[in-house]
Amino acid sequence: MTRSVTGPSRAAPLPSPKERRRLREARSLSEEQVAAAMGVTPATVRAWETGRTTPRGRRRAAYARLIGSADPRTTPQPSAVEATGSSTMSPTEPGPGATASAPADPATDVVPDATAPEAPSPHREAPANGPGPDGAADAGPDLPTATVQVAPAPGGPAPAAAAPDGDVPGPAPARPVLTAEAAFDSLYDLTAPGLTRQMYLLTGRRLLSREAVEHAFRTAWQRWPEVARDRDPAGWARAAAYEYAMSPWHRMRRTHRRPDALPEEPGRKALLGALLALPPSYRRTLLLHDGVGLGLPETAAETEASTPAAANRLLNARATLAESLPELAAPTDPGGRTALFQERLGALALAEDVPEPPTAPSVRRGSERVAELWTRAAVCFGVLLIGATGFTLHTAPTQYEQPLSPPHRVGGVPPRGGPERLTPQDLKLQKALREKLVHGPERLVPRIP
């Protein structure tokens, strides 16, 4: 008779979503195989690996054993299962014992933290977000991309170290905490080269590509506390670089008024020319979905559009490129068409000769220098404004004096009226009257008694 093994009361620990996918691929397991073993759909497994949801209860412990990330202190080992009478099972073959482990405890289930540190993986990782607009699942990115997670704060719980067989596991040594400069340099070194090539496919201008990447990371260093807490720091820098590269103000600059010369190789020349002929929104959507490997919802969110609008832009961009390049319309299945676009865009980005981005320390120094200049300019402007205000208050009059209106000629008024000028006869008569006395009775003058 087989007895079930009762696990601990607390939930089994799980790695970060990207680490779950890496562990599954390391065991050569597909999403369909994991879904069949766990009794769920492939979409549920895809949601576990993208961080949208997380398994709970017994299914959580079984999933941890299946991908090989269970904690030996909380998960029963095969020897313990054999001692209780249960049959020994491989981690890749879950059976009754896998579903009869720890009971469901929603209060202790842990939701994956976006800021938890992740081990670097040599495999290229991309979010699996379900089928795209053509019905095919989103494949991994062909263009270089990376995501750097921020180290936990000092004093946090240290993960348990894996102990050899037969030994009691002890606490793992404290993981060194990266400084802000080291974290930024790591993000820049992993992201800047691939992002520069993406900017070249987006703009067709080599100098503008380097300038956009440098501007994005300068802004990221100025706002590093915000960027470090972001779920995807590389995506934050990519969005800032895309916005700067697609700004219409660059058309007014003589250096970036026209794109650079197209490559001499006919195939690359035709593909890059057709790509640059697309509208900017179509070009960005196609590059994010088929070049970088983002899912359709993530592409729509980064381009600030709805999901149906992003899907229509992607379909129209593919159709326009297929008209210019008939070989891109050769695959009939949606998955083959998506893979072909990813392969061609990735090969085009890697084949072009783009300028090397500056080093991370120089970008940080440039960001600090620009911030210092803006600070000094703001201080000088404030001092100038205060001085001008004080001078105005000192010289301004204390009371209001109404200004005199300036004189102006008034038309349509008749000439001023009055007595006419005296004639010579009138003047002679006036003189005679003033010289001679008037004879006659004198005027009576009343007297006061």
Inter-helix orientation angle 360-395/206-222, to 10° = 70
pTM for the complete prediction?
A: 0.51
Cα 152-155-156 angle, rounded to 5 deg: 50
DSSP state of 160: B
Contacts of 12 (CB under 8 A, 6+ apart): 60, 61, 64, 70, 71, 74, 75, 101, 102
Nearest to 78 by CA among 60, 56, 103, 95: 95
Burial (CB < 10 A; 0-12, 13-18, 19+), residue 63, is buried
Question: Backbone phi, then psi, for 89, in 5-degree steps?
Answer: -125, 145
Q: Which CATH class is domain 181-351?
A: mainly alpha
- Entry field: residues in the chain: 449
Residues 390-397: contacts with CB under 8 Å, at least 24 apart: none
Nearest to 150 by CA among 102, 114, 204, 174: 114
Residuewise pLDDT in 10s, the chain (449 residues): 334 334 434 566 788 888 888 888 888 888 888 988 888 888 888 888 888 788 888 888 888 888 886 544 444 443 333 333 333 333 333 333 333 333 333 333 333 333 333 433 333 333 434 444 544 444 444 454 444 444 444 444 444 444 444 444 455 555 667 788 999 999 999 999 989 988 888 888 888 889 999 999 999 999 999 999 888 899 999 999 999 988 888 878 887 777 788 888 888 888 888 888 899 899 899 888 888 888 888 888 888 889 999 999 988 988 888 888 887 776 666 566 667 777 888 888 787 778 888 898 999 999 999 999 999 999 999 999 999 999 999 988 888 888 888 888 878 877 777 777 889 998 998 888 887 766 655 555 666 76
Nearest to 128 by CA among 34, 245, 17: 17
Cα 318-319-320 angle, rounded to 5 deg: 90
Nearest to 317 by CA among 267, 277, 352, 351: 277
User: What is the residue extent of each domain of the chain?
Assistant: 1-113, 181-351
Q: Which fold has domain 1-113?
A: 434 Repressor (Amino-terminal Domain) (1.10.260)
Which one-letter amino acid corresponds to residue 406?
P
